[in-house]
Amino acid sequence: MSTKHEKILQYIESLPVGDKISVRQIAKEMQVSEGTAYRAIKEAENRRLVSSIERVGTIRIEKKKKENIERLTFAEIVNIVDGQVLGGKTGLHKTLTKFVIGAMQLEDMMRYTDAGSLLIVGNRIKAHENALRAGAAVLITGGFDTTDDNKQLADALDLPIISTSYDTFTVATMINRAIYDQLIKKDILFIEDIYVPMVETSVLRNDETIHHFHKLNERTTHGAFPVVTANNKLVGMITVKDVIGREEDELIEKVMTKNPIAGSMKMSVASAGHRMIWEGIDLLPIVNDDNVLQGVISRQDVLKALQLAQRQPQHGETIDDLVKNEMKVLGDEDLIVEFKVTPQMTNQYGAISYGAFTTLLAEVGSFALKRRKRGDAVAENMTIYFIKPVQMESTLTVKPRILDMSRKFVKMDFEVFNEQMLVGKAMMMFQLLER
């Protein structure tokens, strides 16, 4: 049975795009306290179901699909530029297709402005009107206002007119940054992207016997299964090891592993993989907030997804991507990596930042283990000695050395040189994600 919190979220999701909601309205409609309603609205905002705008309120917006994540709604633009909505509030839920900077003659400006655009312009009243008539929203920079006629036209056409105190260059930079951040989020894989749904998952009931396990094992060749109740609530996991030497008529709930480790839809694939390796499990059940089974993921699913993600063209570059781009592999037998320190990787003193240095060592270690055909690896702990500062534009040489390797863990030693001078040393332990 769904909780009050879940019911409110389902209610918000069922509302038409563009509807305005409030804590008091939700509390009255769903017969809950205002505190419960407030928490649910905040969760809906985190899930990008609604957007809260100062002096406007909270409105229902369209949840973006992953392939359209780089598109922003006008409501999000208002928050990005700390804007004030002058007119057309009912159109804030709409998505913009492109933005146009109005730094040209009026007739030339209109050639680039079409329906779904956002025209970024100063106090050019005629440009505001023409853009609205062309089906575009308007963002007025410099803190300027527009005429009452234009505000009424915006209300009639459901196209927002937004005013911000920032200049045009700053506004364009802020919007680009927001799109870039969303592209980075798009590259992060979550369990919901790769899991095997419930309809395709083989499960056993807690009131069934080991005989049923053997039949399902023969039919699917799987070695582990989630155990659920009649209401599909997860109560355990059962594997081949659990049934060795047991009678055929024994109940599954007597031999299963109770309170198993489970994941959620919003858990990242990397976190799930790390947990599966650490706990030594091959199958991870996925549940919702009420512990109802939604599906499963296997260790193979995780490794396949991580390998595929590494081959994807990266739209938004993270610090890790910047570090990887500057790595150059030297030597065939003994791995040596050359690395150039770019300005983005420096701290306020112009030396390589601790974060970039740590990322470099972790990436070199992972690469060294891949060359040994030991699969992917995750850094478990590290001890780093920053012996001498490294200036920007320096070329570093990193020499990794494997000290000890077991089935699940590897200890490595690193030496970092700048023109034959030792500038850093490290000891790291990696956890192996075996194939």
Let me know: does 399 contact 415? Beta carbons within 8 Å.
yes
The overall longest dimension of the chain from CA atoms, in Å, is 86
146 and 52 belong to one structural domain = no
333 and 427 belong to one structural domain = yes
76 and 161 belong to one structural domain = yes
101 and 11 belong to one structural domain = no
Let me know: does 57 contact 50? Beta carbons within 8 Å.
no
CATH at residue 279:
3.10.580.10
pLDDT in tens, 272-330: 877 787 677 889 999 988 889 999 998 888 877 776 655 554 445 667 778 888 888 88
Give the pair of three-digit tokens for residue 27.
């509390």
SS3 358: helix
pTM reported for the whole predicted model: 0.47
Sheet holding 20-21, edge to edge: 20-21, 57-60, 50-53
76 and 179 belong to one structural domain = yes
CATH at residue 106:
3.40.1390.20
CB burial string 228-257: b at 16+ within 10 A, e below: bbeebebbbbbbeebbeeeeeeeebbebbe
Q: Which residues contact residue 168 at a Cβ distance below 8 angstroms, ignoring those fewer than 6 apart?
A: 101, 103, 120, 121, 122, 141, 142
Residue with the two structure tokens 């039949």: 215
108 and 206 belong to one structural domain = no
What distance in Å separates the CA atoms of residue 122 and residue 101, rounded to the nearest whole number? 10
The burial of 399, by beta-carbon neighbours within 10 Å (0-12 exposed, 13-18 middle, 19 or more buried), is given as middle
CATH at residue 389:
3.10.129.10
Task: Find how far residue 37's CA is from the centre of its chain.
Answer: 26
Nearest to 21 by CA among 6, 46, 38: 38
179 and 217 belong to one structural domain = no
Q: For residue 67, what pLDDT is reported?
A: 43
Which residues in the chain land under pLDDT 50?
66-69, 313-315
Give percent above pLDDT 70 in the chain: 90
37 and 75 belong to one structural domain = no
SS3 239: strand
Query: 3-state SS of 359-387?
Result: HHHHHHHHHHHHHCCCCEEEEEEEEEEEC
The burial of 414, by beta-carbon neighbours within 10 Å (0-12 exposed, 13-18 middle, 19 or more buried), is given as buried
Give the pair of three-digit tokens for residue 92.
């804030």
Name the pairing type of β-strands 117-121 and 98-101: parallel
Half-sphere exposure for 200 (CA within 13 Å, toward CB): 6
132 and 49 belong to one structural domain = no
What distance in Å separates the CA atoms of residue 361 and residue 291, rounded to the nearest whole number? 39
Last residue of a domain, one of 137, 167, 187: 187
pLDDT in tens, 367-405: 888 877 666 778 889 999 999 989 888 999 999 999 998
Query: Chain-wide mean pLDDT for the chain?
Result: 85
CB burial string 69-104: b at 16+ within 10 A, e below: bbbbbbbbbbebbebbbbbbbbbbbbbbeebbbbee
330 and 419 belong to one structural domain = yes
Q: For residue 76, what pLDDT is reported?
A: 85
The burial of 295, by beta-carbon neighbours within 10 Å (0-12 exposed, 13-18 middle, 19 or more buried), is given as buried
Write the Ramachandran bin of 351: left for phi over 0, alpha for psi from -120 to 50, otherwise beta.
beta
Instruction: Count how many domains the chain has.
Output: 4
At 213, the amino acid letter reads: F
Range of the domain at 349: 315-433
167 and 198 belong to one structural domain = no
Last residue of a domain, one of 187, 208, 239: 187
Last residue of a domain, one of 160, 187, 214: 187
70 and 180 belong to one structural domain = yes
